[in-house]
Amino acid sequence: MLTPSGKGFRAIRPMYRRFRRISRALCGFFGVVMPGEYTAKSAYCIQFQGTFSKLKLQPIWKAKAEPKCRFFAWTLLHKKILTANNLIKRNWPNDPVCKLCGIDPETPTHLCKDCTFSRQVWSFIKRWFSLSVIDNVGMTRSLHKYWRKCRIKTDKDQRKAFDGIMIYFWWNLWKKKNRRKFQNKSLQPSQVALLCKEDIEQYQLATRFHDGPQQE
């Protein structure tokens, strides 16, 4: 790394050395490289330091679902999708009430776990895909913790498929919410569940000959 030199620098050398000591201390604290030692990793770390919580989301990227749906799930679990509460934080005019149940405030967790409409949809999906093993998993925790608890209950060689089922469940709730908001179209829980089931089966059919053994 280049360091300043020359007569003009001698006058400020003590200040420069102090700056270097402070820089090393800060870089050690934030886990980034020293000034002048730029890397893509250091830029990424600085950009996102403190922005997202450190959730264990690696299985999302291996789930049996389309890339756009996996990305949506990743955004959802970070609570960054544009539900009513997040729109209000941006000072965008918006009705705060959930478009599915019409009762409670709309948040990412409410939309995809706590909403009475969503729970009815989830009940259909659990029955159709024989997921009774997760019936005793409590739904009082965060959406991320609920998903993690459910997948632990699932056989290890079926977890990628289970993650895909849950992702398509979330994805179709999001589409249902947008249809209701922007197109004023209403569907029953069984109809939304059927759309979800069709998405899952179509993906499984499309990838049937390309998937190897399912692993954690």
Same domain, 106 and 196: yes
3-state secondary structure at position 105: strand
CA-wise closest residue to 83 among 177, 187, 171, 147: 177
Same domain, 177 and 138: yes
Residue 216, in any domain of the structure:
no
Domain count, the chain: 2
Same domain, 95 and 176: yes
Residue 107, in any domain of the structure:
yes
Q: Model confidence over 96-135: pLDDT tens digits?
A: 999 999 999 999 999 999 999 999 999 999 999 999 999 9
pTM of the predicted model, to two decimals? 0.74
Residue 1, in any domain of the structure:
no
Q: Domain of 145?
A: 58-206
Which amino acid is residue 78, in one-letter code? H
Joined together, the tokens standing for residue 125 give 């999906």
Residue 118, in any domain of the structure:
yes
Q: Model confidence over 3-44: pLDDT tens digits?
A: 445 555 566 667 666 666 666 655 544 444 444 554 544 544
For tokens 């020293």, name the residue: 34
Cβ neighbourhood burial of 180 (10 Å; 0-12, 13-18, 19+)? middle
Phi (first) and psi of residue 213, to 5 degrees: -60, 140
Which residues are CB-contacts of 69 (< 8 A; sequence separation ≥ 6)?
167, 168, 171
